Amino acid sequence: MYANAYKTIIDVLSENERFEKLIEHLQRNRLVPHINSLKSGTLFAPDNEAFAKYKDEDITKSVLLYHLLPNALTGEDFFHGQLVESLYIRPNLLGSAEAGQRIKITMEGTSSKNPGKVYVNNAEITEKDIMVNNQTFIQAINQVLEPPEILGKSLELRNAELYNMMKDVGLDKVLDQERPFTVFVSSQNILNKFNPIEKTYITSEYGQQDFSLLLHYTVIEGVIYSADFPSGKTDYKSLSGDLLQVSQDKDQGSAVNGIRITQSDVLAANGVIHELGDTVIPPSIVFDTRKYLYGLNATRFVSLIDAHGLNHYLEENNNYTLLVPSNEELDDGDIAEVMIRDWLSYHIINGTWTQDNLINNMLLRTEYKSPRLAGQPQRLAVHIEREKSSNGPPNRSIRFDRSRVLNDTISINNKTIHQISESLSLPGDLLEKLVVDLDLSTFIATLYVSEVVNEIKDAQGITLFVPSNGAFQELGLVAKYLVHPTAKSSLQSVLRYHSVTEILYYEDMVREVHEAETLANSTLRISQDKSGNVTVGRPDGHQFGTVRERDILVENGVVHKLDAVQIPDHVTITNNNLLVGIEANSMLEVLEKAGLMDVIEQKDCTVLAPSDKAFAHIDMDALLQDPDQLARVARLHLIPTTWQQKWMMGGASGEYPTLLSDYDKVLIRGTGNGGFIVEVKDRPETSRAQVTGMGKSSNGGGVLEIDAVLMPVRRGIFGLPWFWSIVLIITSSGIFAGMLAVGGFFGYKIWSRRRLGYRAI
């Protein structure tokens, strides 16, 4: 039965006890006359239980008006997502002075046979279509409807994290204004759209402008409900100044910048909120190298780059690789102000070098172009080690010089960024670099002794081949001579010969043969042997050394460690030089008195040189006063033979002639422990010496330093020693006497027969 057409809403409510509280609140707020005057409308009527559950006991006029619609709606008129306009008007908040606050209708089902429950905002309609008259209906609901909050408050209640971000950029004050806005919020944390570096940047003080753009991009002026979206694609200008594209498709639904709207029409007093499945990013946010460095906590590095005029490396689109320490690891305290620009440039590498492109021991060209390198770019060494992994293949540990790479390769705008564990150090002073290697101490000492240290230090763009201590030991007595005061010019030439006047890194030397000029104005030949080792030596191939350690970077070039000292062809080292070098003064005196000084300089002459201490054990005065014996002793110590390299290598024994005679020879043999002894043949027990040093001269001979003077054998007839000469004389005399006796006997027999007249028949 329909109610009397002349009844009012108040009349119908009064007939049902469950609406007593509603009538009471209507009376208290003096709305009864207003409601009775309505010619048409719809009232969403909370029952007594709804008021009992209402958290706010103060039911205001605004709240009650929010339950009233100016037109009649029955259950058949409702549909899912429907927005209806209430009689609660907040002037200008939704655009016009007469626009009423909206109410949203949602339904559980869309089937006409089984429509399911109908909700008004969050309140369920418990009884539909209570008729007042043909133009007025009451819909009973189980909750009191609350008018929407202002946008800022609505966002705070819905997503406090997002609201706090908006508050940080001052957007909350905009959304609290009494004018309409449409907000597109993400169902995800808006920062999840960014990688960790971008996230760190955008939330830092350096990213506040982009952070503000990101949040303002989600807001459009004016209220646009989902029903207002035109079909197709429509651009809207956001508060960031960028355009948002809203697309509406019957099959695909609504989307913003291609991101689907997952919940539309979340009502607010001054607008509406639409929830998206992901975050929309304004096109005006463009990440570049500078922003990524901020995100890597390298703000001090960027500040130094800007302060020293290197900002073009961050802004240009050219390919560079940046090695970046964090603020905590950046150490510029020990860098002189005039060197900071160079030091920063050393952290910038020409080209893009990802971790996959790096190879162990490679040298990368940095942007530090030093005048000490004749304008060439200083290099940076890469070291790669394999570290065991409990799961899968070994990990690669990458270092630039001593600084370890901390993260994966970062690429942005033609730049590659590696975050490193500590600041790089520019290659330092040559001597400071070499002095820490104790295996190079002899070379360092000779630099100072020769007084060429400053010449090599001050040279620009050189390659220095530094012999190891072992290399100098291999020279034997030659090394002693070179450091002797009389050999200063020769030592200078030798050291200069190890300094090439151009920069040759190891990669350059393995590509082709080089005939390189040196500071000694002589040529070094640099090539590869059959084993692939780089060898360095004279062009005539007379001697060479092998590079054993490569690419030690210094401020004026590069150093390679060599296993053999190279002597230029214009440096002649004689036997006399070697004797002077070991200060064999007594031997020199003996040779001079014996007139043999010219002989020792002849080709292929090897001198056995007793030390002065060895000569102290004989009567030197008596020897010098006996010219014959002096000559014999001197000649016994001269071997007319080519230098035997096997002596230096600890080779086999041998017998060698001397200048004394064809009979007087010496035996040189190894002792089994790397040493050698020299013995006089035929007198091994009484004339023996230990070899204490050896050195090769330029004429094919050399000097063997020994610890005892060798004494010649006293010889008799046929050059035999006296003992054997006596034995030979006695033996020969006996044989001769026997022969005489036998001859006499047979002669006597013949004579006797003839005397007696016997004849042979």
In 3D space, the residue among 567, 565, 591 whose CA is nearest the CA of residue 580 turns out to be: 591
Q: Are 122 and 111 in contact (CB under 8 A)?
A: no
pLDDT of residue 729: 57
Query: How buried is residue 425: exposed, middle or buried, by Cβ count under 10 Å (0-12/13-18/19+)?
Result: middle
Count CB neighbours of 38 within 10 A: 18
Count CB neighbours of 651 within 10 A: 13
Instruction: Please determine whether the domains at 151-276 and 430-562 fall in the same fold group of CATH.
Output: yes
Token pair 């021991």 is at which residue? 361
Query: Mean pLDDT of successive 10-residue segments in the chain (761 residues)?
Result: 66 94 95 92 96 87 96 93 96 94 88 76 95 93 96 94 95 96 95 95 96 97 95 96 94 92 96 96 96 96 96 92 93 84 96 94 95 94 84 82 94 94 94 94 95 94 97 95 95 97 95 94 94 93 91 96 95 96 96 95 94 94 94 95 79 85 90 86 81 92 95 66 54 70 70 60 40
Q: Residue 467 — φ and ψ, nearest 5°? A: -70, 145
Q: Are 87 and 98 in contact (CB under 8 A)?
A: no
Q: Are 570 and 579 in contact (CB under 8 A)?
A: no
Count CB neighbours of 274 within 10 A: 23
Domain 289-420 classified CATH 2.30.180.10? yes
| Half-sphere exposure (Cβ direction) of 15: Cα atoms closer than 13 Å | 11
Count CB neighbours of 665 within 10 A: 18
DSSP code for 696: E
Q: Are 264 and 81 in contact (CB under 8 A)?
A: yes
- pLDDT tens string 311-340: 999 998 899 999 999 999 888 777 888 899
Cα 544 to Cα 213: distance, rounded to the nearest angstrom: 68
DSSP code for 62: H
| β-pair type (123-133, 118-120) | antiparallel
Provide the residue count of the chain.
761
Please name the helix (run of DSSP H) or strand (run of DSSP E) that holds residue 753, with its range, or none: helix 722-756
- pLDDT tens string 399-457: 999 999 999 999 999 999 999 999 999 999 999 999 999 999 999 999 999 999 999 99
Structure tokens at 136: 């007025």
Strand ranges of the sheet holding 253-256, from the earlier edge strand across to the other edge: 219-221, 181-186, 271-276, 259-268, 253-256, 243-249, 232-237
Residues facing residue 655 across a β-bridge: 667
In 3D space, the residue among 716, 587, 702 whose CA is nearest the CA of residue 663 turns out to be: 716
Domain 430-562 in this protein, CATH class: mainly beta
Cα 522 to Cα 356: distance, rounded to the nearest angstrom: 42
Domain 9-141, architecture per CATH: Roll (2.30)
Query: How buried is residue 525: exposed, middle or buried, by Cβ count under 10 Å (0-12/13-18/19+)?
Result: middle
| β-pair type (82-89, 462-467) | unpaired
Cα 141 to Cα 703: distance, rounded to the nearest angstrom: 120
Cα 273 to Cα 154: distance, rounded to the nearest angstrom: 9
Distances in Å between the Cα of 103 and the Cα atoms of 4, 67, 88, 225, 265 are 29, 9, 10, 12, 10
Residues facing residue 416 across a β-bridge: 321, 411
Cα 695 to Cα 576: distance, rounded to the nearest angstrom: 12
Q: Residue 283 — φ and ψ, nearest 5°? A: -65, -20
Q: Residue 687 — φ and ψ, nearest 5°? A: -135, 90
Cα 608 to Cα 624: distance, rounded to the nearest angstrom: 18
Q: Are 190 and 281 in contact (CB under 8 A)?
A: no
109's CB contacts (< 8 A; 6+ apart) are 115, 116
Structure tokens at 587: 């031997």
pLDDT of residue 511: 85
Q: Where are the domains of the chain?
A: 9-141, 151-276, 289-420, 430-562, 575-713, 723-756
Give CATH for domain 151-276.
2.30.180.10
Distances in Å between the Cα of 447 and the Cα atoms of 129, 219, 484, 573, 577 are 109, 75, 13, 19, 20
Distances in Å between the Cα of 362 and the Cα atoms of 160, 271, 384, 465, 735 are 53, 62, 10, 19, 86
Token pair 């893009």 is at which residue? 352
In 3D space, the residue among 30, 56, 18, 74 whose CA is nearest the CA of residue 144 turns out to be: 56
Give, rounded to a whole angstrom, the gap between the first and last alpha carbons of the chain. Answer: 199
| Half-sphere exposure (Cβ direction) of 186: Cα atoms closer than 13 Å | 18
Q: What are the b/e assignments for 610-622, b being 16+ CB within 10 Å?
A: bbeebbeeeeeee
User: Is the model's pTM score more than 0.85?
Assistant: no
* DSSP notation for 4-15: PTT--HHHHHHT
300 by DSSP, 3-state: which? helix
pLDDT of residue 653: 76
In 3D space, the residue among 445, 294, 397, 416 whose CA is nearest the CA of residue 353 turns out to be: 416
pLDDT of residue 115: 65
Query: How buried is residue 606: exposed, middle or buried, by Cβ count under 10 Å (0-12/13-18/19+)?
Result: buried
Cα 629 to Cα 583: distance, rounded to the nearest angstrom: 23
In 3D space, the residue among 548, 591, 599 whose CA is nearest the CA of residue 574 turns out to be: 599
Listed as own residue / partner, the contacts of 483-488 with beta carbons closer than 8 Å and 24 or more positions apart are 483/445, 483/446, 483/449, 483/581, 484/580, 484/581, 486/577, 486/580, 487/577, 487/581, 488/449, 488/450, 488/451
Domain 575-713, architecture per CATH: Roll (2.30)
- Amino acid identity of residue 139, one-letter, is Q
587's CB contacts (< 8 A; 6+ apart) are 579, 607, 609, 610, 612, 615, 637
Report CA torsion sign: 272, 275, 281, 283: negative
Cα 23 to Cα 160: distance, rounded to the nearest angstrom: 37
Cα 520 to Cα 500: distance, rounded to the nearest angstrom: 9
pLDDT of residue 3: 45
